[in-house]
């Protein structure tokens, strides 16, 4: 473990890179957002509309899954972040897609 100013700089840079990874995957990885007027979780609002609209990756997934399902295709989705899998699980549940989740706790 590095100590001192240089060690703190490296930790800060690593944290910054991790935050960039999070925002590229989904902004809700920074925490759930609440509707100011109702206090409702935006993660579940509008049948996942906000959940999808907040992330380009989820927008693409939202367009692709119905087509793949119609074709009878099976889909595997991989993620290095279990927190992203939590968000994805909410989305799949709200959209009525059947899924099985495998992660390190399985």
Residue pLDDT, tens place only, 79-91: 988 888 988 998 9
Better pLDDT: 51 or 55: 55
- pLDDT band with cut points at 50, 70 and 90 for residue 1: very low
Among 21-35, 61-75, 77-91, top mean pLDDT goes to: 61-75
Domain boundaries of the chain, sorted by first residue: 4-95
- pLDDT band with cut points at 50, 70 and 90 for residue 101: very high
Tokens 């490296």 identify what position?
10
- pLDDT band with cut points at 50, 70 and 90 for residue 105: confident
DSSP result, 46-73: GGGHHHHHT-HHHHHHHHHHHHHHHHT-
- For residue 4, the model assigns a pLDDT of 66
pTM here? 0.71
- pLDDT for 7 beyond 80: no
**Dihedral sign (CA 95, 86, 64, 99):** negative
């Amino acid at each position: 473990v590095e100590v001192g100013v240089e060690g703190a700089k490296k930790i800060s840079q690593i944290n910054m890179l991790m935050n960039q990874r999070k925002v590229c995957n989904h902004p809700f990885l920074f925490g759930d957002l609440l509707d100011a007027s109702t206090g409702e979780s935006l993660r579940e609002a509008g049948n996942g509309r906000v959940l999808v609209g907040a992330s380009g990756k989820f927008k693409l997934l939202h367009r692709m899954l119905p087509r793949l399902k119609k074709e009878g295709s099976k889909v595997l989705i991989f993620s290095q972040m279990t927190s992203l899998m939590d968000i994805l699980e909410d989305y799949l549940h709200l959209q009525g897609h059947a899924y099985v989740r495998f992660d390190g706790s399985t």
